[in-house]
Amino acid sequence: MDRICVYDTTLRDGTQGEGISLTVQDKIKIARQLDRLGVDYIEAGWPGSNPKDMEFFLQAKQLKLAHAKIVAFGSTRRVGTSANEDSNLQSLLDSNVDIVTIFGKTWDFQVTEALRTDLDTNLQMIQESISFLVSRGLRVFFDAEHFFDGYRSNPTYALNCLQAANNAGAECLILCDTNGGLLPFEIEGIVRHAVSLYGNKVGIHTHNDGELGVANTLAAVQAGAAQVQGTVNGWGERSGNANLCSILPNLILKMNLQCLNGRESLTALTEIAHYVNEIGNVIPNLSQPFVGGSAFAHKAGMHVNAIAKNARTYEHIAPEEVGNQRRILISELAAGDNVVYKAQALGFEVNRQSPEMRQVLTEIKDLEYQGYQFEGAEASFELRLHKTFGKVPAFFELVGYRVTSFCSAGDEPVSEAVIKLKVGHEEVHTAAEGHGPVNALDHALRKALTPFYPCLESIQLVDYKVRVLDGKDGTSAKVRVLMEHSNKEREWTTVGVSENILEASWEALVDAIYFLLLSKQDDQQLQTAN
């Protein structure tokens, strides 16, 4: 096998996932990133199904892709309609692409129950549809829908469907585990049989209903499949499609196969995976293999001790190979090695015997007992390290704050925060409104500080989470607040804990401001304030 072709269907099959909707411009942005990754084919939509997909294909002509080719998706002709009169096939021609993928039924049960036609008519539909498109100068891939279920039910008929597509001129025969219910050893055996008949024309398309989409794809490649289909982050209907973010590193790094533009392509994988989630407004899965934020995160002290000696002890690949990074988490489970690792990464000279290390570790364990969570708030932890080593200037000092909320009949409630601060020898007294007390407090604090620290102009509150730590205490229970902020350069998360939600929020908010100012303390914009 010379090379594995990568066929991405995020923009079509992936958008069938619950809660996922992409605009035409969203699709164009993602297509550019997929091309950057080095995929061979981008299945961009079904032009016969909705105006948005047809609009994409009209705009896609202006896309200057370096590597990938845009593919339109459709079905075989309808029952009782000739190929040259079928509106779906005509839409494929109107999309102005050079390559189309059409699916056809290969499971006898689906033919009789879903299409309500006979087996011979379905074979004619496959052959006539592909012949029609080929005669119009298109390259055609055939998605053999429900092929594996069809093979188990009636292997002769399922293979006859492949033969009909092959005779009509299909370049690739993609075997689809449409219901996502097969096991890897079943996939491998059936694919091996198909490859013995059609060689490197065979491709694989699996779904993840049994959480085996990736495993089934790799089994198919092991059996000789030359094209793999999947989606970024495993987007797709029901439990999703096979996840290309796991398939690609396994093919390249584990199976030593050629695909994309080689190993270097993978260094963009994590960034692109996060980008696609961001465009789709999908909350990332931190535990996602290879590209998740926790994929190379280490929490147990024993693990960190070993990682410091040799990363291979608890990492199956180097995170940099897929564009990810190692993270050392801090919690009550942390041993001294976790603190040492983080402190050394920040440039502090510290070892296991350092009194500062023992001080920080004791403090962290005590605070986590009180309800703090530092593994999800690394900025707050880094600040504590800096404070322990006396590296945090007094950027400002709180004199006091007051927050009030007012709601008149028929109007939205309005909150106002009043803050009094000292910056150096100067006292600042300001007020601001917001959507809720925390938002008002955030606005007032930054309003007071921005004249002294212009870098605060770009800071944004990205996420705000509140968790009640002990519900049995009712309204007097402690709450933990996690705040995620960002500017144009980075994102960071801070934590605060208190029985008073405003006090917990203030603590996390101040940490967020201090974290940014500390990172900017060498900038000229901070000189006048200090």
The 3-class SS string of 238-289 reads: CCCECEHHHHHHHHHHHCCCCCECEHHHHHHHHHHHHHHHHHCCCCCCCCCC
User: From its phi and psi, is residue 327 left (phi > 0), alpha (psi between -120 and 50) or beta?
Assistant: beta
The predicted-structure confidence for 136-182, as pLDDT tens digits, reads as follows 999 999 999 999 999 999 999 999 999 999 999 999 999 999 999 99
pLDDT at 525: 46
pLDDT at 314: 72
With beta carbons less than 8 A apart as the criterion, state whether 446 and 420 touch: no
pLDDT above 90 (res 376): no
SS3 451: coil
pLDDT at 471: 53
- What is the chain's mean pLDDT, rounded? 87
**Residues near 163 by Cβ (< 8 Å), separated by ≥ 6?**
none
User: Which of the pair, 439 or 302, is modelled with greater confidence?
Assistant: 439
pLDDT above 60 (res 333): no
Contacts by 152-159, CB closer than 8 A, 24 or more apart: 152/186, 153/107, 153/108, 153/109, 154/107, 154/108, 157/106, 157/108, 157/119, 158/106, 158/107, 159/194, 159/197
- The mean pLDDT value for 414-426 works out to 91
Letter string b/e over residues 494-509, b meaning 16 or more CB atoms within 10 A of that residue's CB: bbbbbeebbebbbbbb
The predicted-structure confidence for 388-411, as pLDDT tens digits, reads as follows 777 778 899 999 999 998 877 667
pLDDT at 283: 82
Q: Compute the distance between CA of residue 285 and CA of residue 298 in angstroms, rounded to an integer.
A: 17
pLDDT at 524: 43
pLDDT at 317: 87
Q: Compute the distance between CA of residue 445 and CA of residue 450 in angstroms, rounded to an integer.
A: 9
pLDDT band at 528 (very low <50, low <70, confident <90, very high): very low
User: Which of the pair, 174 or 437, is modelled with greater confidence?
Assistant: 174
With beta carbons less than 8 A apart as the criterion, state whether 428 and 421 touch: yes
User: Which of the pair, 80 or 341, is modelled with greater confidence?
Assistant: 80
The predicted-structure confidence for 20-75, as pLDDT tens digits, reads as follows 988 898 999 999 999 999 999 999 999 977 888 889 998 888 888 999 999 999 99
Q: What is the 3-state secondary structure (H, E, C) of 341-396?
A: HHHHHCCCCCCCCCHHHHHHHHHHHHHHHHCCCCCCCHHHHHHHHHHHCCCCCCCC
And the tokens for 139?
Answer: 């390259």
Could you identify the residue written with the tokens 């950027």?
395
Q: Which domains does the chain have, with CATH numbers?
A: 5-279 (3.20.20.70), 360-395+459-530 (3.30.160.340), 404-452 (3.30.160)
Query: Across the strands, what pairs with 403?
Result: 417
pLDDT at 529: 45
pLDDT above 50 (res 84): yes
The predicted-structure confidence for 201-243, as pLDDT tens digits, reads as follows 999 999 999 999 999 999 999 999 999 999 999 999 999 999 9
pLDDT at 6: 97
pTM of the model: 0.71
